[in-house]
Amino acid sequence: MAQLDPVMLAVLKGRLEQIADEMDATLFRSAFNPIIAEAHDASHGLYHAETGETLIQGKSGLPVFVGAMSFAVKAVIDKVKAESIEQHPGDVFIFNDPYEGGTHLSDFKLVRPFFRGDKIFCYLASVGHWHDVGGNVPGNYNPVATECYQEGMLIPPVHLYKKGELNEDIVAILQSNSRLSGSLYGDLNGQVSALELGEQRLGDLLEEYGEDQVTAALVELKKSAAKLMASYISDLPDGTYAAEDWLDNDGIIDEPLKVGLDLIISGDRMTLDFSRTSKACAGPVNISKSTCIASCYVALKHIFRDVPANAGVLEPIDFVIPEDSLLSVMRPKPVGGYTETILRVIDVMFQVISQIAPDMANGCAYGTINALSMAGYRKNGARWVMFSFFGGGHGGHPNGDGLNHGNAPISTATIPPLEILEAAYPVRFTQWALRPDSGGPGRNRGGCGAVYEIELLEEKADAFLFGERGKYAPAGVVGGQPGALNKFTYPDENGEDAEPPMVSKMVGIHLDRGQRVRLETPGGGGYGDPLERDPKAVAEDVRLGYVTPEAAATFYKCAISENGVLDSAATDRMRGEN
Q: What residues have CB less than 8 Å from 551, skipping those under 6 apart?
A: 436, 437, 441
- Report which residue type is found at 304: F
Q: Are strands 269-273 and 317-320 parallel, antiparallel or unpaired?
A: parallel
Assess contact for 265 and 313: CB atoms under 8 A.
no
Q: What is the DSSP string of 428-494?
A: EEEEEEE-TT-SPPSSBPPPP-EEEEEEE-SSEEEEEEE---SSSPPPPBTTPPP-PPPEEEEE-TT
Closest CA to 68 of 289, 353, 301, 332: 289
Q: pTM value?
A: 0.94
List the chain residues with pLDDT less than 70. Answer: 1-2, 61-63, 66, 411-412, 578
Q: Assign 104 to helix, strand or coil.
A: coil
Which letter, b or e, does each residue of 50-80 get, where b requires 16 or more Cβ atoms within 10 Å of its Cβ?
A: eebbbbbbbebbbbbbbbbbbbbbbbbbebb
Environment class of residue 470 by beta-carbon count within 10 Å: exposed (0-12), middle (13-18) or buried (19+)?
buried
291 contacts: CB under 8 Å, gap ≥ 6: 64, 68, 98, 102, 103, 335, 338, 342
CB distance 343 to 429 below 8 Å: no
- 3-state class of 155 per DSSP? coil
User: Do residues 91 and 113 touch, judged by C-beta distance below 8 A?
Assistant: yes
Straight-line distance from the first to the last Cα atom of the chain, in angstroms, rounded to the nearest whole number: 67
- At residue 136, the pLDDT reads 93
What is the Cα–Cα distance from 515 to 490, expressed in whole angstroms?
8
Report which DSSP code applies to 532: G
d(CA 240, CA 127): 36
Question: Phi and psi of 243, rounded to 5°?
Answer: -155, 155
Cis ω for the linkage preceding 156 (within 30 of 0): no
3-state secondary structure of 92: strand
Cross-strand bridge partners of residue 264: 240, 271
Q: How many CB atoms lie within 10 A of CB 514?
A: 10
The CB-based long-range contact list for 75-82 (8 Å cut-off, 24+ gap) reads 75/100, 75/101, 75/157, 76/52, 76/111, 76/123, 76/157, 77/50, 77/51, 77/52, 77/123, 79/156, 79/157
Amino acid (one-letter) located at 12 = L
* pLDDT tens by residue, 439-468: 999 999 999 999 999 999 999 999 999 999
Element (H, E) at 209: helix 181-209
Read off φ and ψ for residue 566, nearest 5 degrees: -85, 130
| Residue 429 CB coordination number (10 Å) | 15
DSSP character string of 304-365 = STTS-SSGGGGTTEEEE--TTBTTS--TTS--TTHHHHHHHHHHHHHHHHHHH-GGG-----
- 3-state class (DSSP) for residue 140: coil
Q: What mean pLDDT is reported for the chain?
A: 94
| Helix axes of 181-209 and 211-234: crossing angle, nearest 10 degrees | 100
pLDDT at 66: 66
Identify the H or E element spanning 205: helix 181-209
Task: Report phi then psi at 216, rounded to 5.
Answer: -60, -40
Cβ neighbours around 186 below 10 Å, total:
19
Chain centre distance of CA 237: 30
In this structure, what DSSP letter does residue 152 have?
-
129: three-class secondary structure by DSSP: strand
Distance CA 318, CA 330 (A): 21
